[in-house]
Amino acid sequence: MAFARALSAMLLPLALGLAACGPVPVEQAERSCLRDAELAQRPRGEVAIGVGSGPGGTRTAGRVTLEVGSDYLAGRDPAQVFDRCVLNRSGQMPTRGLYQQPGWRG
């Protein structure tokens, strides 16, 4: 009996973890897959520059961030990337195409 309890205590987290990997609702997949489609369209980047002063004098700092998706490098169509992503995450095709999605900034 103690073995069965210990076994179920070990298997419960595993089962919960696997359940988290299951399909998500199609609407949720559509929202999260917009990012993949945006990265397939063009790279994203950010530049930050700052100036600060303190006891050691004035200092400048900078940061550049660039995010390039593999779909962009492969020349894939963002709409096809979106459809594939939604299908993979939800098990269903999108309810609307990429260009009809609220929030699409193509």
Q: How does the average pLDDT of the chain come out, rounded?
A: 86
Using one digit for the tens of pLDDT, what is the confidence trace for 13-46? 655 554 566 899 999 999 999 999 999 999 989 9
For residue 54, the model assigns a pLDDT of 83
Report percent pLDDT > 90 for the chain.
Answer: 58
Band (pLDDT 50/70/90 cuts) for residue 93 is very high
Q: Contact 46/65 with Cβ under 8 angstroms?
A: yes
SS3 (DSSP) at 94: coil
SS3 (DSSP) at 46: strand
- pTM of the predicted protein model: 0.67
Q: Contact 26/86 with Cβ under 8 angstroms?
A: yes
Structure tokens at 76: 């894939």
Structure tokens at 41: 């369209």
**Residue 93 and residue 3: Cα distance in Å, rounded?**
44
Report percent pLDDT > 70 for the chain.
Answer: 80
For residue 56, the model assigns a pLDDT of 82
Residue 46 pairs in a beta bridge with 65
Band (pLDDT 50/70/90 cuts) for residue 8 is low
